A = this chain, B = another copy of it.
Amino acid sequence: MISPDIVRDALKKKKVRSEEAFGLEYLRFNDDYKDIPRGTVIFKDFVIWGYPHIGRIFMLETGLKEQFEAPFWVEEKVDGYNTRIFKYGENYYALSRGGFICPFTTDRLEDLIDLRILDENPDLVICAEVAGPENPYIEESPPYIEEDVRIFVFDFMRKNELGFLSHGKKMELIEKYNLPHVKVIGRFTSSDEDIKKIKEVLKKYNEEGREGVVFKEDSERNKRVKYITSYANLMDIKVNAKNMLQLPPEYYTNRTLRLVLFMMEEGLERTQHLYEELGKAFIDGLFQAIEQFQKEHKVYRTFSCKLRKKENAIALLELLSKTSKHIQVKEKKLEKEGDYWRLEFDKIYLNMTGLLGHLLSGGIVYD
């Protein structure tokens, strides 16, 4: 448990905020504080720990040899957003990475996953990725999800407890309750032979447009690291270039470096095609932003998703407005569509809109 002293200190330092949603009151760590990860929430009856940061290796071969001292499981990393699902009283809830009760995920749980597991194991917390083109948070989506969203379980925690269930226990639960889950590629070591196999997988994942993998040591310490494909790095640049000012510029330079290291390690050639892809990723996104600004005097992106309850759609918009910095969230449409409510909204990128307004009207920049 988290001692009251730490909570008091964290409150003083504004690392913890008080929240209310779905009739529940709770405290949320909005930043890492001492050993407590961002997104940890304290309810009246229990604590749900934040999902910890996973470090990234840039090189497979040396990285795996350096980081692991026991065999490890390799799982697909799905390009979506992280959620933690739990039961409280008679209801199921889904937390965002940052520790908000997510109105969208919570609303759609019954469509995405069979939650009998939580009825029979009410102390469990399901850790999963939600991904797909119709999600309200991120522009990217795995190519194999054609509509709406899907969920992929990748870990279990317990209420009040730090750390994850073992791989064996996890797979047992996934099979028993037939839960949708991330693809488990296998158990490997950092032997040269295994690394060769892992490289093959990554090469294939890159061609298929998958994001990457997470390595999880099959040991008490359960150490984790992640590794991302060149494809995913390119997509990150492409998707975000339209709103270039939103993310720290390191976002782009980091990804360019990762891209080059991926190519080197996988023995991929510096082809015209790859040069083109990277140039295109930067240029097309910016062109789109400029063209949109010239036509509509703002730079924005439209999101669309469906929910079961209208009140959850409204709560989602409120949450997005509250948590988006330099972004204006504007409802476009909220209409009944069969059993659902179809929500469409724009995220207007205020920084990019402001900069292009200044530059295109002939403004000066000192740099």
Contact = CB atoms under 8 A, between A and B. Distances in A.
A276 B55 CA distance: 32
Given A249-B249, A252-B252, A253-B252, A62 B283 contact: no
Interface string A334-367: 0000000000000000000000000111111111
Interface stretch (A64-72, A119-127, A167-175): A64-72
Given A279-B276, A290-B264, A362 B256 contact: no
A65 to B, nearest CB: 6
B286 A260 contact: yes
Interface stretch (A18-26, A148-156, A267-275, A321-329): A267-275
A366 B279 contact: no
Contacts of A282: 256, 278
A1 interface: no
Contacts of A260: 283, 286-287, 290
A30 B39 CA distance: 44
Given A253-B249, A254-B367, A270-B287, A359 B279 contact: no
Give this chain's copy count.
2
A53 B366 contact: yes
A250 interface: yes
A114 interface: no
A146 interface: no
B256 A283 contact: yes
A130 interface: no
A274 B276 CA distance: 8
28 contacts: A56-B367, A58-B363, A59-B359, A59-B360, A59-B361, A59-B362, A62-B362, A63-B364, A66-B363, A67-B364, A244-B257, A249-B249, A249-B250, A249-B252, A252-B253, A256-B282, A259-B283, A261-B359, A264-B287, A270-B283, A270-B284, A274-B279, A275-B275, A275-B276, A275-B277, A275-B280, A278-B283, A279-B279
Given A67-B362, A67-B364, 13 more contacts: A56-B364, A62-B361, A63-B363, A63-B364, A241-B256, A248-B249, A260-B283, A260-B286, A260-B290, A261-B290, A263-B283, A270-B283, A278-B283
Interface of A: 53, 55-59, 61-67, 225, 241, 244, 248-250, 252-254, 256-257, 259-261, 263-264, 270, 272, 274-280, 282-284, 286-287, 290, 359-367
